[in-house]
Amino acid sequence: MVVRLPRIDWAVENVDKEFEWLPKLAPFLPISIPLPLAKGSPTEDYPWPWSVYSWLDGSNPTVDHIPDPVLLIHDLAQFLQALHGIDLPNGPLSNRGVPLERKDTETRRALKQLEGMIDVETATALWEKALNIPKWSKPLVWIHGDL
């Protein structure tokens, strides 16, 4: 098991949101996702609600260690396609699903910080290409807020 402790006040609402929605989304996804098992309450020692999740074996890819980048891209694309195809009404709205131009300043700032770690010139060109994609006009879909 793993304990998830929100580190910032605006993330506190995710405890209840994840507890409700992750079990509903899991059957539709091509890979396992952590499932909430229990919720904890605020105390003197920790001021916010928290949760316990099932543990998934594995490791996070890092910039300097991605064993099979093509497989990672394929798996991520497959996951996102499945997520976008889930038809569960009345899902929570994400404050991150916004037009890309609203993220332009912070994205360019982040790209500058990645200088020397990634090919910033190529990443910037891809970002600029993405900015020219037409705004979403289709029905809402499920998104992963961290991507």
Tens of pLDDT, residue by residue over 46-87, are 999 999 999 999 888 888 889 899 999 999 999 999 999 999
pLDDT at 94 over 90: no
Please give the average per-residue pLDDT across 15-44, as a whole number: 96
Give the range of the structural domain holding residue 44, as residue numbers without chain letter: 1-65
Residue 58 in any domain: the answer is yes
Residues 6+ apart with CB under 8 A from 102: none
Assign residue 42 the CATH number of its domain.
3.30.200.20
Tens of pLDDT, residue by residue over 116-146, are 999 999 999 999 999 999 988 888 899 888 8
Q: What is residue 4's three-state secondary structure? A: strand
Residue 16 in any domain: the answer is yes
Residue 35 in any domain: the answer is yes
pLDDT at 88 over 80: yes
pLDDT at 95 over 80: no
Tally of domains in the chain: 1
Residue 73 in any domain: the answer is no
- Taking the model in full, what pTM does it have? 0.76
Taking all residues of the chain, what is their mean pLDDT, rounded to a whole number? Answer: 93
Residue 49 in any domain: the answer is yes
Residue 19 in any domain: the answer is yes
pLDDT at 45 over 80: yes
Residue 120 in any domain: the answer is no
Residue 136 in any domain: the answer is no
Burial of residue 18 (number of CB atoms within 10 Å: 0-12, 13-18, 19+):
buried
